[in-house]
Amino acid sequence: MSGEAVKIKGTREGLVIMLDPTREFEELKTSLKKKMEAAPHFFRGARFIVYGRAISPSQQLELENLCRRYGLVPAPQIPWPPERKRRPVPGEPARLVYGPLRSGQEVRHAGHVVVLGNVHPGAQVVAGGSIIIMGYGQGSLHAGYGGNEEALIAAFALSPTTLLIAGVLADPPEAPPATGGPVTALLREGRVVFLPSLPRQKP
């Protein structure tokens, strides 16, 4: 802490008396006493903890007794520093498959599946959510297993042996040819359609 040797921070649970770790104990005690004397009735009855500098038990007791003389009440159960709330990661969890899936390999997952490679003929991917293939999608692909009609299948090119979304079988010849960009299969009006790009997210 720069500036003041002692700072007093209010929380919902009480006061946190923060000590500058670079200052000597006598300077900290003098600074704390001046703050107490500046508002002798303001802190009366408030719960507090002392935080911010490694001090001996006797020094800790000395500061606590100083605060007691001005009506403060030690409360070691005040949580400090406060726990940081983790921000939720945007999007939805997915199973990552590192590398290609070859003939005879099978992946089944209740959520989304992302394959970082090609899905070769003879391989199978079954997902309760969407299937994203960072390569060519061949073999057997079933997204939305269990009835998720919002699921989709996307790949750089799609030429699957079978392709289903929410149990609806697609007609493979309808898939557009490889164009160097993503191809997406999704359900529209109960029928699997293919788009030569990823669909825009709904606002």
Least confident of 40-44, 86-90, 183-187, 188-192: 86-90
| One domain, residues 68 and 99 | no
152 is a domain residue: yes
Claim to verify: residue 41 and residue 100 sit in the same structural domain: no
pLDDT score, position 40? 74
Predicted pLDDT at 203: 44
Asked if the model's pLDDT at residue 156 lies above 80, the reply is yes
- Judge if 65 and 100 occupy the same domain: no
The DSSP annotation for the chain comes to --S-SEEEEE-SS-EEEEEPTTS-HHHHHHHHHHHHHHSTTTTTT-EEEEESS---HHHHHHHHHHHHTTT-EE-TTS--SPPPPPPPPSS--EEEEES-B-TT-EEEESSEEEEES-B-TT-EEEESS-EEESSEE-SEEEESTTT-TT-EEEESEE--SEEEETTEEP-GGGSPPP-SS-EEEEEETTEEEEESSPPPPP-
Instruction: Tell me: do 53 and 126 sit in the same domain.
Output: no
Residues 43 and 117 placed together within one structural domain of the fold: no
104 falls in which pLDDT band (50, 70, 90)? Answer: very high
On whether residue 22 sits in a domain, the answer given is yes
Residue 84 lies in a domain: no
pLDDT per position as a tens digit, 18-30? 898 888 999 999 9
pLDDT (0 to 100) of residue 149: 92
Task: Check whether residue 36 and residue 99 sit in a common domain.
Answer: no
Mean pLDDT of the chain: 85
The CATH number that applies at residue 167 is: 2.160.20.70
Residue 83 belongs to a domain: no
Beta strand 106-109 pairing with 131-133 = unpaired
Instruction: Specify which residues 154 forms β-bridges with.
Output: 132, 184
Tell whether 111 is covered by a domain: yes
pLDDT tens figures, 31-73? 998 988 887 777 888 888 888 777 888 888 999 999 998 888 9
Identify the pLDDT of residue 118.
95
pLDDT value of residue 9:
86
Q: Is 197 a residue whose pLDDT tops 80? A: no
Separation of alpha carbons 127 and 109, rounded Å: 5
Better-predicted residue by pLDDT, 198 or 115: 115
- What is the band of 174 on the pLDDT scale with cuts at 50, 70, 90? low
- 121 vs 51 pLDDT, higher one: 121
The verdict on 172 and 115 lying in the same domain is yes
User: Is residue 145 in some structural domain?
Assistant: yes
Q: What is the phi/psi pair of residue 5, to 5°?
A: -75, -30
What average pLDDT does this structure show over 113-130?
95
- Which amino acid is present at 12? R
Reply yes or no on whether the pLDDT at 115 is more than 80.
yes
Confidence band (pLDDT; 50, 70, 90) for 173? low
Question: Which domain, by its residues, includes 188?
Answer: 94-195
Q: Is residue 44 part of a domain?
A: yes
pLDDT tier at 102, thresholds 50, 70, 90: very high
Asked if 27 and 116 sit in the same domain, the reply is: no
- Does residue 85 lie within any of the structural domains? no
Number of domains within the chain: 2
